[in-house]
Structure 1
Amino acid sequence: MTRSWLRSSLQLLWLVLMTLSPVYAEDLVVSYRSPESDNDRRLDYTTDLLRLALDKTVSSHGGYRFEQQDRMNKVRNIRVAKSNMHPNFFAVLSFDEAFAKEGLDYVRFPLHLGVVGYRVCFVAPAARAAVAKIDGVAELKKFSIGQGVGWQDVNVLRNNGFEVAEVPSYESLFGMLSKDRFDLLCRGINDVAGEMQAHPELVLDHSFMLSYPMPQFLYTHKDNQAARQRVELGLKRAYADGSLLNLFKLHFRQSIEAVEPLRRRVLKLSNAAVTGIDFDFKKYDFDLNEFSR
């Protein structure tokens, strides 16, 4: 057996194997921001969800490496995504048509299955008695609401006639509320249980719940289409096989059950921004009755 024959045989074998198995380039690198503080648990679910989506596509797209970047608030998060300074950087953002003009594209899947649009409110000490007596949106507008700088809720609330105080730091919101710097801090029913544990000094109102469409998506620079399409495919696969819903329940059951949403008076607001969404995001809405007691 000559060396040339052996070399030719090995090359032929390699070509045959390549036709039978997918051919991958090096592992895909995906970037994501770190939480703003040690008490910030808001990214736990979406970080796990992004990993799940990538895991669901390993067999078809190959491996990946996950890199968490520095801590940053929402404004810097958007700026970093627009700059494309990190490989395949994904940001969790509420829909805004302006992002497309600024070089961003989004994964067509609502990460929180509609529950972020249900908001319950922590109440400042001086406002507790008065807030407990409200019976509609008109009366609620008499109270100021604190929100983070860059949060899409700021536009929604102002467009519905509310006074909004914007605060640059997530942690500062809780301290400012406790000092009566504003009257209400309204949070998604998926987040509030962890925040109640981190800030036991605060009081959560139990009489009403705001409701407005507020789907959140994974946004990335428009040049990262291969990564965006892979994540979208992975999320849809995870939704179809039930693993996404299992992860959703693991993260949010405690919080949603704790606020007892079905026992609250629902005050509906509008959000004109969602009219620009180019797919049926509401078909993924989670039925709150699944968590009723």
Structure 2
Amino acid sequence: MKYLFTTLMLVCVCVCVCAQEIKYTQIKDDKSRYFVELIELALDKAQASSQFKLNESSKSFNQQQQVERLNTGELSIMWAGTQPEYESNLLPIRIPLMKGLQGHRLFLIHAEQQNQFSQVHSINDLRKLRAGQGRFWGDTNILKHSGMPVVTPVKKESLFYMLDGGRFDYLPLGVHEPWDEVHRRDGLSLAVEQNILLIYPMPMYFFVAKDNAALRDLIERGLETAIADGSFDQLFYNAPHVKNALDKANLAARTVIRIPNPNLHQATPLDRPELWLQL
């Protein structure tokens, strides 16, 4: 019995020592914790939890820095809205982590301008107004491609003050974002627009380095299993920031305006409705 106990202890120690590290950027908010929970779910569904150890970096990196560190091996995985550059230089796991919610956009507007937006019923109506977006955001080219005027400062924080000052008319944000942004800036005259939902396909993926196909295949297999058994949707719809946003946004009652995303890779799984948010 003592021999058996010692053997089991040695096996446990060996598993801990030999577990491969999956390292990701330092996270600073509960919303990002969701993606870590998705990795944990994928490992569990792939029956690989004991073979890998998740490790958060001691440093926080922006997306471009994460791309660089994936290729040097300092990080193992990142999550980001897809861009052609990322899909060319990294291995994407083409399962939309937010079910395309990033491409469901509500507007921040000046608090006194709701009546103006209540008259918007089509893309042509929206083209008469000016959007604000970060100069290097992937969404900026999507809006411009559909003929919408876009004001593009470099710094994100400038957008809120420019909107308050009337430099443009609306700031499109992800469904889960606008209320928090208004709350953080209660000194500005900002409000969440009440009637419009702009939709374009914008998947957020996990990415790994080009030479890490084994990790890509493992995470993909686990996520596919989670989608099939319903545990992916259970995690997504019960994530506090998603649940809160969907409760507040009243998406089904809004006027939907759809535009294309010219940046999507031809392998984007648009033909799999179970991967996308359905209104």
Larger CA deviation: 139-148 vs 163-172: 163-172
Over 3 Å counting, the alpha-carbon distance change for 1:59 and 1:46 in structure 2 is closer
User: Pairwise mapping of residues 106-255 of structure 1 onto structure 2 (< 5 A)?
Assistant: 106-125=92-111, 127-200=113-186, 201=188, 202-251=190-239, 252-255=242-245
Give me the whole-angstrom Cα distance separating, in 2, the residues matched to 1:197 and 1:250: 22
2:86 maps to which of 91, 96, 99: 99
**Structure 2: stretches of 5+ with no match in the other structure:** none
1:54 aligned counterpart, secondary structure: helix
Give me the whole-angstrom Cα distance separating, in 2, the residues matched to 1:168 and 1:80: 24
Give me the whole-angstrom Cα distance separating, in 2, the residues matched to 1:170 and 1:234: 35
**Structure 1: stretches of 5+ with no match in the other structure:** 1-9, 289-293
Over 3 Å counting, the alpha-carbon distance change for 1:145 and 1:70 in structure 2 is farther
Structure 1, residues 81-132: CA drift from partner, whole Å, max 9, x if none?
4x434131323222x344343x211012111113222111011357544333
2:264 aligned counterpart, secondary structure: helix
1:29 aligned counterpart, secondary structure: strand
Q: Identity rate of aligned residues, in percent?
A: 27
Task: State the 1:79 CA deviation.
Answer: 4.3
Query: Which residue pairs with 1:49 in the alignment?
Result: 38
TM-score, L = length of structure 1: 0.76
Give me the whole-angstrom Cα distance separating, in 2, the residues matched to 1:167 and 1:72: 22
Task: State the 1:157 CA deviation.
Answer: 0.6
In the alignment, residue 255 of structure 1 is paired with which amino acid? Answer: A
Over 3 Å counting, the alpha-carbon distance change for 1:237 and 1:121 in structure 2 is same
In the alignment, residue 151 of structure 2 is paired with which amino acid? Answer: A
Task: State the 1:234 CA deviation.
Answer: 1.9
Task: State the 1:69 CA deviation.
Answer: 5.3
Query: Which residue pairs with 2:258 in the alignment?
Result: 268
Task: State the 1:142 CA deviation.
Answer: 2.5
Larger CA deviation: 109-118 vs 66-75: 66-75
Task: State the 1:71 CA deviation.
Answer: 3.1
Q: Is the 8 A contact 1:114 1:214 kept in 2?
A: yes
Task: State the 1:158 CA deviation.
Answer: 1.0
Give me the whole-angstrom Cα distance separating, in 1, the residues matched to 2:20 and 2:229: 24
Structure 1, residues 188-238: CA drift from partner, whole Å, max 9, x if none?
223344444444552011111111111111112211212222211221222
In the alignment, residue 278 of structure 2 is paired with which amino acid? Answer: D
Over 3 Å counting, the alpha-carbon distance change for 1:272 and 1:285 in structure 2 is same
TM-score, L = length of structure 2: 0.79
Larger CA deviation: 244-253 vs 194-203: 194-203
Give me the whole-angstrom Cα distance separating, in 2, the residues matched to 1:142 and 1:80: 42
